[in-house]
Amino acid sequence: MTGILGKFQVEHTNEGARVIARSHQLTTTCISDAEIDTHIQMLKDDLDTCANEMKRLVKVNRSGALFEGWPSANDVL
């Protein structure tokens, strides 16, 4: 399962969650301090959103099966 959040992508598997940058260029060309601050703050906000999504997905992994009858990550085969 994946989800796109701003310039980053959150990937989720049974092994956990991770963040991947969607682009090598994360900002446009900046010519002022204000532009730099704005673009960097947007990246920080996106990363905070990614962190919240990753925590939510890891919690889902720890909670067990989503549907009755499906094995959970905590079940021993």
Q: Which pLDDT belongs to residue 52? A: 92
Contacting residues for 73 by C-beta, under 8 A, at least 6 apart: 14, 61, 62, 64
Instruction: Quote the number of domains for the chain.
Output: 1
Domain membership of residue 73 (yes or no) is no
Domain membership of residue 47 (yes or no) is yes
SS3 at position 26 = coil
Q: Which domain range does residue 15 map to?
A: 2-60
Question: 15: which DSSP letter?
Answer: T
Phi, psi at 57, each rounded to 5°: -70, -40
The residue among 12, 77, 5, 11 whose CA lies nearest residue 48 is: 5
Domain membership of residue 67 (yes or no) is no
Write the single-letter amino acid at 4: I
Domain membership of residue 16 (yes or no) is yes
Greater pLDDT, 77 or 35: 35
Reported as a pLDDT band with limits 50, 70 and 90, residue 34 is very high
Domain membership of residue 7 (yes or no) is yes
